Structure 1
Amino acid sequence: METIVITLPHFFSGEAAQIVQLLQGQVDLVHIRKPEATAAEVEKLIREIPAGWHGSLVLHDHHELALRYSLHGVHLNSRNPLPPEGWTGSVSRSCHSLEEVAEWKKRCDYVSLSPIFDSISKRGYHSAFTAEEIREARDRDIIDDKVMALGGVTFGKLDDVLRMGFGGAMILGDAWKGVSAELTPVALTIAGSDSSAGAGIQQDLKTMESVGVYCATVITAITSQNTMGITGVMPVGGSVVESQLKAVLSDLNVKAVKIGMVPDAGVAHVIAAALREYKAAHDCHVVYDPVMISTSGRRLMAADCLDVVVEELMPLCTLVTPNIPEAEFLAAKTGIVCEGGALADALHTSILIKGGHSDGEVLADSLFNPDGSSQSFKSERIDTRNLHGTGCTLSSAIAAFLLKGHDIPSAIPQAKALLAHAIMRGKDAGIGKGNGPILPGKQ
């Protein structure tokens, strides 16, 4: 039995993601019906839907776009009584009488008959057929596998539709119940899990929450670690990382992404491909904290991973936040002297080189942009051994402030203030026997 959903007549934020979510569930096709929309508006919606789902879309208007994007089908109506010249995909049409069904079934791949039930979206639009009329039409082979039931159909009535002899159902109102006109912007962290919760995914979640931002997660590795160091690392397979990314990006309105631990080249490829496709359709900030070696000296990135990170991932980033050793490593990889402006130019993104590894009581984080501009952000060193998670906290805080509408030069000092507050909260805490975690919280 085929299940088809018809879009609402108006556009809403996050509609493309909602369409993908429906297609990933129990829906076979989505009919895009926007009778008042321009071709440009409909095309924008199509482009926001990943190309892999275009074969599940049917257009009610602007049929030339069905040809251009190789969509599944076109739906005929009084505005578009014929398919476009050269069209070889499916053709469908709406019917409101059994006589129309008998006529148009000969010319279409499928038709709809409505209203079958009392409408849940149109007041006063009641069922036009008795149970006896439906039964007789089925016995005369007017209603068969090529006829879809429309009008008042809900997901809960699909079994009834099947028993009535229809080949499927077309659903409107029930499919969009509870859809918000504006999906809330959220952040996504792509990182490793820290079993002691001082860094990685766990610290990112705490940091984002302290800024007032909802945060989703994609886990790239599972680490066994505590305040004394890392004793084990298990990378998550690329297919599982890809599945997590698809689940989040197809549904949530992600406006900022923080990337932490990328363990190997396969995972790096997957992240780059997913973000490249997502950013082609959505405005989205990407902040990457290039975690390469742990504080205890354990390598956290495979040797073959850096090439992919530099060539594919970093050009997608809004900002990269290496510490001094990581900046030196990136400079050596790109064959340049470790100078911030040259590094920003080589990596095609803004670079914030963190000064925590430098000597002195005043620390300077230096921002370098590909256009040659730069800026320094200074802060006083806080005397404590509890500094686990500083890089994760700073980068995820910057991503959260970018999501809230700040630009890079204003997001950085706010993130640094949050970081200083987190260090002060944790400076005397006795969590673990070694390098204890900082404690982000509302200021």
Structure 2
Amino acid sequence: MSLEKVALTIAGSDSGGGAGVQIDLKTFNAIGVFGASVITSLTTQNTLGVQGIYDCPSEFVERQLESVFSDLNVLFTKTGMLSSNEIITTVVDRLKFEVSRNLKGIVVDPVMRSKHGSPLLKEDAIDNVIRNLIPITYIMTPNIPEAELLTGIRIKSLRDMEKAANEIHKMGTKIVVVKGGHLEGDYAIDLVYDGNQITMLKEKKAFNGDVHGTGCCFSASITAYLTKGESPINAIRKAKKFVSKSIKRGVYIGNGFRVLKTY
């Protein structure tokens, strides 16, 4: 029996539906990939902000991972919100094992804060990300604030993005995409570095304001396109265009930030 290829998201739940596991699964579906999920944290959240966070016990995270990997044909996975040392260690240990079996690659969105500024990663867990998660990563997708926290480099220009990408690549990821949407200007320029070559991806900003869930959607898009058989650079290019289109189609569902429309 031929099994359908599956993309997996390992991330937090957003009760408002605009980010986290919810936008990941919407993205997988829109791109045409079957999506599975492992929920690491539950957030009470809407377009106005994050009102509360409940971290799933690490034992229950492991049980979810076991259920998915023991049965489904997962080729690529992404990680989003991994808020604590216990959850990071549980996920890393399992993914190391799965990479030795059928898993082809891990896309890491190093979620640290929500769009509203609420902390989603405990400060004492950042070192765990650097020491243990990044070394098993296939593609890493930090935005500028995340890249600054990981490297200690203040990023104000494309040259600064290059320096940060080089430092993050040294931490062990095969490919790093430093997202430049936080820089001023009419264009969102992302820097892709694979250890040998720098590629700049430029797209006119689709909306001049904050949009909820863009980072989650970008990493989920890359994961989906990889699952469909695209090369890393093509997956990243297509993901950037997919997010841009989803921003253009964006809507207001509440009284806060605009949200993506993936369909």
Same fold (TM over 0.5): yes
String of CA shifts for 1:247-272, please: whole Å, max 9, x gaps.
00000010010110001000000000
Counterpart residue number, 2:156: none
Counterpart residue number, 1:72: none
AA aligned opposite 1:439: K
Counterpart residue number, 2:157: none
Higher relative contact order (CA 8 A, sep 6+): 2
Counterpart residue number, 1:99: none
CA distance in 1, matches of 2:174, 2:85: 20
Counterpart residue number, 1:226: 46
Residues 178, 192 of structure 2: 8 Å contact kept: yes
Residues 135, 171 of structure 2: 8 Å contact kept: no
Counterpart residue number, 1:210: 30
- The 5 Å alignment of 1:174-185 reads 180=1, 182-185=2-5
Q: Offset at 1:283?
A: 4.0
Residues 47, 256 of structure 2: 8 Å contact kept: yes
Counterpart residue number, 1:8: none
Residues 386, 423 of structure 1: 8 Å contact kept: no
CA distance in 2, matches of 1:368, 1:239: 35
Change (3 A) 1:348 1:430: closer
SS of match in other structure, 1:243: helix
CA distance in 2, matches of 1:395, 1:323: 11
AA aligned opposite 1:296: H
| In the alignment, structure 1 residue 438 sits paired with structure 2 residue 263 | no
Task: List runs of 5+ in structure 2 lacking aligned partners.
Answer: 154-159
Residues 386, 438 of structure 1: 8 Å contact kept: no
TM-score normalized by structure 1? 0.56
AA aligned opposite 1:355: G
SS of match in other structure, 1:221: strand
String of CA shifts for 1:3-30, please: whole Å, max 9, x gaps.
xxxxxxxxxxxxxxxxxxxxxxxxxxxx
SS of match in other structure, 2:248: helix
Counterpart residue number, 2:170: 345
CA distance in 1, matches of 2:81, 2:42: 10
Query: Which aligned segments of 4 or more residues in structure 1 are displaced greater than 4 angstroms?
Result: none
Residues 139, 173 of structure 2: 8 Å contact kept: no
| In the alignment, structure 1 residue 420 sits paired with structure 2 residue 240 | no
Counterpart residue number, 1:101: none
String of CA shifts for 1:273-318, please: whole Å, max 9, x gaps.
1000011012422101110011211111112211221111111111
Q: State which of 285, 292, 311 in structure 1 corresponds to 2:131.
A: 311
CA distance in 2, matches of 1:189, 1:339: 26
Counterpart residue number, 1:235: 55
Q: State which of 212, 216, 223 in structure 2 corresponds to 1:399.
A: 223
Residues 138, 173 of structure 2: 8 Å contact kept: no
- The 5 Å alignment of 1:142-291 reads 180=1, 182-291=2-111
String of CA shifts for 1:356-384, please: whole Å, max 9, x gaps.
10100011000112x33211100001235
| In the alignment, structure 1 residue 298 sits paired with structure 2 residue 118 | yes
AA aligned opposite 1:204: D
- The 5 Å alignment of 1:99-110 reads none
Q: State which of 361, 365, 382 in structure 1 corresponds to 2:190.
A: 365
Task: List runs of 5+ in structure 1 lacking aligned partners.
Answer: 1-179
Residues 285, 403 of structure 1: 8 Å contact kept: no
Change (3 A) 1:398 1:348: closer
SS of match in other structure, 1:197: coil
AA aligned opposite 1:327: A
Counterpart residue number, 1:355: 180
String of CA shifts for 1:405-424, please: whole Å, max 9, x gaps.
11111111111111111111
Q: Offset at 1:431?
A: 0.9
CA distance in 1, matches of 2:29, 2:173: 30
Change (3 A) 1:358 1:313: same
SS of match in other structure, 1:248: helix
TM-score normalized by structure 2? 0.93
Q: Offset at 1:386?
A: 5.7
SS of match in other structure, 1:352: strand
SS of match in other structure, 1:281: coil
Counterpart residue number, 1:97: none
Q: Offset at 1:339?
A: 2.6
